[in-house]
Structure 1
Amino acid sequence: MTKDGSFKKVVRRHAQDTGQRYTEALTDLEGLDARLFHKPTAERLLAHIRDHYGIDAVAATKASRHNDHVFRIDRRDGDPWIARVFPPARPKAGVEGDAAILRFLERQDYPAERLAVDDAVSSFDGSSVLVTQCIAGRLLPSPAVGAEGVEKFAIMGDLLGRLHTLPLDESVSRPGGASGEDPRHEGSPRQDLLAALSFLDAVDTKVSAAGRERFDLLREQVRSADDGNGLPEALLHGNLLHAPDHVMVSEHGPVAIQWKAAGRGPRLADFAYLMWGTFRNAEWIDAAVRAYRQHVKLTDEELDRLEAVMYIRPLYLVCFGYRRALAKGESPSESEWWFGHGVEYNSSAAAATRAAWRR
């Protein structure tokens, strides 16, 4: 079979596994880099901010370790802002949804970043821009050691617990919980699994004969993963545990930032991802569980499905790294780590979390 023929076979399989038409599945696998990554020009953004908002903005500097589209906007006539210039593939409605959630959180007096102005979403060079107030403070330590880790996981457990008990209204009705780096896969945690399939299938034809067995096993793990469907729902942050973590410690206390992944979904997805990041450190696990349990009582079913739901985001990250490596002609080291440690790690992390919860 020709290479083109092999790829067509991959697209047909992807369509079948994701419930899409062939053309939709093809779009899912092509143009991933353009959808995932965006590097706007700081000078043009600065001019747009000045013109659109009529402020005296003097500098736009990169403000994120991982993303080239997040900028700090310094002003002569006021406090600095943060401007997020999302990839053109992300619909403006999604960014308006981010703003709606931030308005809801402000009404609830929840410690989140605040919109810089009422009209916080604008259009710029085919992209949508969201402006928020810049929070003065420090990021949580990443990586953390010793007592720093205890403080870190207590803070994040508390923030998630408080978030998951907020009374919801129609302004926060969109599904959330998926990382959503690919705008085609924003929404519930299931979208992380669909995105992971896209990452794998996009490089299927680059997999060596020696790596095929492990590739197929990884793909089957993604296909069969528990997406948390049917579990109790709440407003999720979706990506609080992130390196560096999406929490700033200000003079007024911890503040959660970066709400692109937020929306309604199974609260266990947020909690499971947090506990996955404890590195099985008993003190960190206890700190996160104690803080979260002050606000939320997980059901027996949630505790039973904890390990299964814990697979969602790690599988997404492993598949993201797998695609990136093969696309560069490198060995997919993330997947090798997964087969060596991931399954055993998740099992023991979930068992330790359940034990801490039941103490």
Structure 2
Amino acid sequence: MTKDGSFKKVVRRHAAETGQRYTEALTDLSGLDDRIYHEPDGDRLVAHLRGHYGIDAVAATKLSVHKTYVFRIDRTDGPPWMARAFPPARPRSDVEGDAAVLRFLARHDYPAERLAADDAVSDFDGSAVLVTEYIEHQPLPAEKGFAIMADLLGRLHALPSDDSVSRPGGASGEDARRMGTPRQDLLAGLAFLDVVDTKVAAADRERFQQLRDQVRSADDGDGLPEALLHGNLLHAPDHAVIGPNGPAAINWKASGRGPRLSDLAYLLWGTGNWAPTRSTNTERVEAVVAAYRKHVELTDEELDRLEGVMFIRPLYLVCIGYRRDLLNGDSFNEWAFIEPPAYFTTTAAATRAAFRR
């Protein structure tokens, strides 16, 4: 079979396993680069904001190596703003959804960034731009940071439901086609793998297939109690900071309603010791549980499914990294995100023990 024929076979399999038509699956795989990579021109963005809002914006500074569309906007007529010029593949309606979440959080006095203007979403060079107030900040303290993030999650998950923030959330959403509940992370992970399927060397095929099978069979949290999720709080300082008024959560692109366990499970996954090998840090787990349960108590089913749900985001990270390194010709060395499996077992057990005391 030709290489082109092999890819067509991959697309047909991807369509069957994701419930898409062939043409949809082909778009899912072939359009990945265009959907996830976006690097807007900072000077043009400054000019746009000056014209649209009438502010004296003077400079746009990128704030993240990974999020090349996120800028600090300095002004001479007021405090700085944050501007996120999302990839064109992300619909304006989704960005308006971000603004709706931030309005909801402001109504409930939840510690988060605030919109910089009433009409906080605008159109720029084919992209939707969201502007928020920039929070002068410092990073979370190293050891206390997990408890701080757990408290932020507990407070968030305890907020009342509201039709204005009913959109599904919890997935990372780097691919605009795969925003929504955590299941979308698994479907995105499958796409990241399938798009490079024909490039996998024979010597790596068995491990590649094992990873693919693990993604397909992962527990997506469906049916568990839902709440408004942040979707990505673990990555301080990109998502949680200490501002003038205390801790605050930022970057709400992944927010929406979904299984609350997925938010907490990702944070718990991050509590482990990395060296010399991945291992459970019981003190950090107990600190997370103590802070979170001030606001929310998990159900027995959530505790029973914690180990499986804890795999969702790490699997996603492995898949996106696997694709990146294979395309760059690099050796993939981030298996520690999902290994050893015993880490997930012992961390889930420590969490259950802490909740059931």
- Is this a same-fold pair by TM over 0.5? yes
Q: Is the 8 A contact 1:140 1:245 kept in 2?
A: no
State the partner residue of 1:307.
307
State the partner residue of 2:180.
187
Q: Report how far residue 352 of structure 1 moved.
A: 1.5
Q: Which amino acid letter does the alignment assign opposite residue 223 of structure 1?
A: R
Instruction: State the distance in 1 between where 2:208 and 2:28 align.
Output: 19
Q: Which amino acid letter does the alignment assign opposite residue 266 of structure 2?
A: Y
Deviations 1:42-81 (A, max 9, x none): 1000000000001111111112242111101111111110
Q: Report how far residue 345 of structure 1 moved.
A: 1.7
Q: Is the 8 A contact 1:139 1:245 kept in 2?
A: no
Q: Is the 8 A contact 2:169 2:181 kept in 1?
A: yes
Alignment partner of 1:351 is 2:349: yes
SS at match of 1:139: coil
Alignment partner of 1:220 is 2:218: no
Instruction: State the distance in 1 between where 2:269 and 2:213 align.
Output: 21
Deviations 1:281-339 (A, max 9, x none): 2221111100001110100000000000001000000001110111112222224x357
Instruction: State the distance in 2 between where 1:194 and 1:88 align.
Output: 21
Instruction: State the distance in 1 between where 2:237 and 2:315 align.
Output: 19
Alignment partner of 1:170 is 2:163: yes
Residue among 251, 256, 266 paired with 1:273: 266
Residue among 176, 196, 199 paired with 1:203: 196
SS at match of 2:123: strand
Alignment partner of 1:229 is 2:214: no
Moved more, 44-53 or 56-65: 56-65
Q: Is the 8 A contact 1:88 1:127 kept in 2?
A: yes
Q: Report how far residue 243 of structure 1 moved.
A: 5.1
Structure 1 residues 7 and 123, CA gap change in structure 2 (3 angstroms): same
Q: Report how far residue 159 of structure 1 moved.
A: 0.3
Instruction: State the distance in 2 between where 1:29 and 1:106 align.
Output: 38
Identity %: 71
Q: Is the 8 A contact 1:196 1:316 kept in 2?
A: yes
Q: Report how far residue 13 of structure 1 moved.
A: 0.2
SS at match of 1:285: helix
Q: Report how far residue 245 of structure 1 moved.
A: 4.7
Q: Report how far residue 216 of structure 1 moved.
A: 0.7
State the partner residue of 1:38.
38
Consecutive unaligned residues of structure 2, counting only runs of 5 or more, are 273-279
Instruction: State the distance in 2 between where 1:128 and 1:288 align.
Output: 36
Q: Which amino acid letter does the alignment assign opposite residue 240 of structure 1?
A: L
Deviations 1:83-123 (A, max 9, x none): 00100110001000000000000001100100000000000
List aligned pairs for 1:1-359, cutoff 5 A: 1-141=1-141, 148-149=142-143, 151-242=144-235, 244-279=237-272, 280-335=280-335, 337=336, 341-359=339-357
Instruction: State the distance in 1 between where 2:119 and 2:237 align.
Output: 29
Consecutive unaligned residues of structure 1, counting only runs of 5 or more, are 142-147
State the partner residue of 1:145.
none
State the partner residue of 1:144.
none
Deviations 1:125-171 (A, max 9, x none): 00010000000111225xxxxxx31x101101100000001011110
How high is the TM-score relative to the length of structure 2?
Answer: 0.96
Instruction: State the distance in 2 between where 1:237 and 1:257 align.
Output: 9
State the partner residue of 2:276.
none
Q: Report how far residue 251 of structure 1 moved.
A: 2.1
Q: Is the 8 A contact 1:228 1:266 kept in 2?
A: yes
Instruction: State the distance in 2 between where 1:334 and 1:137 align.
Output: 30
CA RMSD of aligned residues (A): 1.1
Q: Is the 8 A contact 1:177 1:261 kept in 2?
A: yes
SS at match of 1:212: helix
Detail structure 1 runs of 4+ shifted over 4 Å in the superposition: none
How high is the TM-score relative to the length of structure 1?
Answer: 0.95
Q: Which amino acid letter does the alignment assign opposite residue 312 of structure 2?
A: I
Q: Which amino acid letter does the alignment assign opposite residue 215 of structure 2?
A: V
Instruction: State the distance in 2 between where 1:22 and 1:42 align.
Output: 38
